[in-house]
Structure 1
Amino acid sequence: MVPFLIMIIIILVGVVFFQFRVQKGKGENLRYTYEKLQDIVGNQTGEKLLVFTDDKELQKLLVAINQLLEAKQITQADYLKVEMSMRKMLANVSHDLKTPLTVVLGYVEMLHTDHALSEEERRALLTKVQLKTNEVIELIHKFFDLAKLESGDKEIELTRINMNEVCQENILAFYDLLTAKGFSVHIDIPEKPIYALGNTDVLSRVLNNLISNAITYGDDGKTLGMTLRSDEKAVSIDIWDKGKGISESHIDKVFERMYTLEDSRNRLYQGSGLGLTITKRLVEALGGEIHLSSKPYEKTIFTIILKRMQF
């Protein structure tokens, strides 16, 4: 009897000791988790919590904590990216406003101080002042347009639109300019009507932006085309040229706010870096997508994709 009782006591002591070790291990794991979490959050590191444990509940807790850490890190990275983009945008807006305004002030000073100017020279200077002032006004309009689009204040009514008509009207509006510049124009628009969910005015602005962009940056290739195509679900418009194109390293960045190619700041390719960003936001407001592919001096294609609608 005694040996049996002793055996029971030994077993109970073993159980108590095992529970004590388990509880101690849990406490150590929780303490390590707390201290490590404080370190990760306090030092803004990109680490994850790694704890080796057989405790299923603690494993679930660690998975949840790591998911929150990952979400926080993604949010922080997005915030830093936006902050850097805003700083660059403000710097570029300041540059783009300062340059024409400085020129305007120079012209005005000449008009005030140079009394030897002829009437013809004065008219020429006033014309230049007007052109530079219009540049500033256009930039300000683009800036506020982008602000409205990104804030969601600009409401766009979506209806069924005839894509054939919109495409024809917009490419024909540039036809005289294209032929005057010596461009070869290729238009591929089916005879059968194709309808999409969109807004005629907004889509016309998008097409105008892309055609103007192709004329400016595709001038070397002297070729511009528009292709309208569709499948069961989507309608696509390709605006393409055979100019100098965009290198692969720049393709993912051209739709960013205030992003400009290196030569877009010279007199021939002057640009604010807002045009393609506004174009992308407008396409997204139509519920669509815009994509870019480019092989310099072979073919550069901007593709707009909208939801197809039936007759």
Structure 2
Amino acid sequence: MKTIRIRKFTLLSLFFISLVPWVFLVTAHVINTKTFSFDPTDSQQANLKQTARLIEANMKNWTDQAWQMQFSAYLQEQDVEAEIVSAAGEVIFQSNAAGERRFTISEQFSLVEDGNVTARVVVYQQNSRAIQLIAAFAGFLLALFLVGLAMRRWIITPLEQLSFNARRLADGDFEVELPSSRMKEIADVRDGFQVMVRGLTESFRKQIELEEERRFVIAAVAHDLRTPLFALRGYLDGLEQGVARSPEQISKYVAVCKEKSAQLDHLVEELFTFTKTDYRESPLQRKLVDFGQVCKQAVDTITPQARQRDVSILVKEAEASCSVLGDAHLLERALTNMLDNAVLHSPQNGKIVIEYEQIAGNVSFTFRDEGMGFTAEELQHVFAPLYRGEESRNRATGGVGLGLTIARRIMEQHGGELHAANHPDGGAVLSGRIPAASE
């Protein structure tokens, strides 16, 4: 829709209000006088003088019916009425026999013969000036009405609807229909309002999603805490009640308690890191970090777990050093989580290959295992908090469901990214990048 500014609309309205009455006045004048001249001597006065001369020149024919009919036709053609009254007050001639005067008196005079008044003549003519003024006033009212209608449609109504929708929006109703307007300023306000509505709608949607995620996290954490706590309590009760009597049984019970306490410690550590990465305003301890060294420390951390499953880890180091600016501890935690996920999903005697190199100002890396890879559903939710591919949440088949979520958030906090995919030859691939430190 083509728009105009309110200032231009105001000027056009003033011009329109001035023009329409003038058009009405000129039209009424032309219809009434049949001329474009506004000088009354050019038309009306000429008619009056001609009528007076005819009356005066035909004094002997005043009572002649043929003359009266001819003169009446002339008066009607000139849009004039006349009346001739004798000195005694008797009406000799009257153009309007009904006696109803449509016009006003324009001229009256007496005819004198031999020093005596023989008759009195009254000529009636339409007051064109009054008609023109009435027409101009009617045009003025029409112009005001049309301008008011345009203002109502393009300015007042959109503003009223914007005000009404703002109150609806304040009440939480985001399904608002915003009016259109030809006024550019109001259209700009409408566009800004529309952007605000979309932003609030998106914010409200994200708030609902975050609330649902929060409830899910609480429920999932309660589930993950309850399982090892329940087992730990059972084995401790067994030790207290003397169920385990032999040294071998006692040693087994103590080993299980240590395993469950380690699981609790791991879960609490994961939750702490998850909360820390979720707090976006937390500043990073950025230092110059060798990515290769961080990768080696992550491999050293996960190697004992990999040996238990007979999984080998192969690191293909870059030819040149790859340095980044970031928090070494968080970066090591991210790589450790990715390795942990790869080990858990690698088959017996499987192999994990790590590659990294500096390309176009970024340190790019890939972690590939030889497992089953991700399913289509897992690829959509693999980075969701507390998501695990199997629904039972069995720790024998996976971790707490925060490892990859934490890894991705750490990469994003460092200005990088992390993606999940499947390798064409089989197995899962975690790939990403981090901006390299400028030399």
Q: With structure 1 as the length reference, what TM-score do the two structures score?
A: 0.87
Return the match for 2:290 from 162, 181, 186.
Answer: 162
Does the residue aligned with 2:381 lie in a helix, a strand or coil? coil
- The AA in structure 2 aligned to 1:33 is L
Return the match for 1:258 from 374, 386, 390.
Answer: 386
Q: Deviation of residue 82 (structure 1)?
A: 0.9
Instruction: Pick which of 153-162 and 94-103 moved more.
Output: 153-162
Distance 1:176 1:110 in 2: 30
Q: Residue 199 in 1 paired to residue 327 in 2?
A: yes
Distance 1:145 1:170 in 2: 16
Aligned residues of 1:248 and 1:294 also touching (Cα < 8 A):
no
Q: Residue 27 in 1 paired to residue 156 in 2?
A: yes
Deviation string, structure 1 residues 286-307 (Cα, Å, up to 9, x no partner)? 3322222225971321123111
Return the match for 1:285 from 406, 413, 426.
Answer: 413
Aligned residues of 1:221 and 1:242 also touching (Cα < 8 A):
no
Residue-pair matches, total: 310
- The AA in structure 1 aligned to 2:159 is L
Aligned residues of 2:267 and 2:400 also touching (Cα < 8 A):
yes
Residue 18 of structure 1 corresponds to 146
Q: Residue 79 in 1 paired to residue 207 in 2?
A: yes
Residue 131 of structure 1 corresponds to 259
Residue 69 of structure 1 corresponds to 197
Q: Deviation of residue 267 (structure 1)?
A: 4.0
Q: Deviation of residue 190 (structure 1)?
A: 2.4
Residue 373 of structure 2 corresponds to 245
Does the residue aligned with 2:383 lie in a helix, a strand or coil? coil
Aligned residues of 1:183 and 1:222 also touching (Cα < 8 A):
yes
Aligned residues of 1:245 and 1:297 also touching (Cα < 8 A):
no
Residue 435 of structure 2 corresponds to 307
Unaligned stretches of 5+ in structure 1? none
- The AA in structure 2 aligned to 1:14 is L
Aligned residues of 2:342 and 2:369 also touching (Cα < 8 A):
yes
Distance 1:297 1:269 in 2: 23
- The AA in structure 2 aligned to 1:194 is C
Q: Deviation of residue 263 (structure 1)?
A: 5.1
Q: Deviation of residue 97 (structure 1)?
A: 0.8
Going from structure 1 to structure 2, the CA distance change for 1:181 and 1:107 (only over 3 Å counts) comes to closer
Instruction: Pick which of 273-282 and 59-68 moved more.
Output: 273-282
Residue 53 of structure 1 corresponds to 181
Distance 1:141 1:51 in 2: 53
Distance 1:260 1:128 in 2: 24
Deviation string, structure 1 residues 204-254 (Cα, Å, up to 9, x no partner)? 222221111101023379231101122121111111112122223332422
Going from structure 1 to structure 2, the CA distance change for 1:183 and 1:99 (only over 3 Å counts) comes to closer
- The AA in structure 1 aligned to 2:217 is M
Going from structure 1 to structure 2, the CA distance change for 1:308 and 1:53 (only over 3 Å counts) comes to same
1:143-162 to 2 correspondences below 5 Å: 143-151=271-279, 155-162=283-290
Return the match for 2:173 from 44, 54, 72.
Answer: 44
Going from structure 1 to structure 2, the CA distance change for 1:18 and 1:220 (only over 3 Å counts) comes to farther
- The AA in structure 2 aligned to 1:148 is K
- The AA in structure 2 aligned to 1:95 is H
Aligned residues of 2:289 and 2:328 also touching (Cα < 8 A):
yes
Going from structure 1 to structure 2, the CA distance change for 1:214 and 1:187 (only over 3 Å counts) comes to same
Aligned residues of 1:157 and 1:199 also touching (Cα < 8 A):
yes
Deviation string, structure 1 residues 10-68 (Cα, Å, up to 9, x no partner)? 331221111222233343333333334444553534x3533243222221221111111
Residue 403 of structure 2 corresponds to 275
Distance 1:58 1:257 in 2: 44
**Two-structure CA RMSD over aligned residues (Å):** 2.8
Distance 2:172 2:321 in 1: 60
Aligned residues of 1:291 and 1:303 also touching (Cα < 8 A):
yes
Q: Which has the larger share of helix?
A: 1
Distance 2:143 2:392 in 1: 77
Aligned residues of 1:103 and 1:132 also touching (Cα < 8 A):
yes
Deviation string, structure 1 residues 98-123 (Cα, Å, up to 9, x no partner)? 11111111112222224572122112
Q: Deviation of residue 6 (structure 1)?
A: 4.1
Q: Residue 298 in 1 paired to residue 435 in 2?
A: no
Q: Residue 99 in 1 paired to residue 227 in 2?
A: yes
Distance 2:360 2:421 in 1: 23
Computing the radius of gyration from Cα coordinates, the structure with the larger value is: 2
Unaligned stretches of 5+ in structure 2? 1-37, 39-128
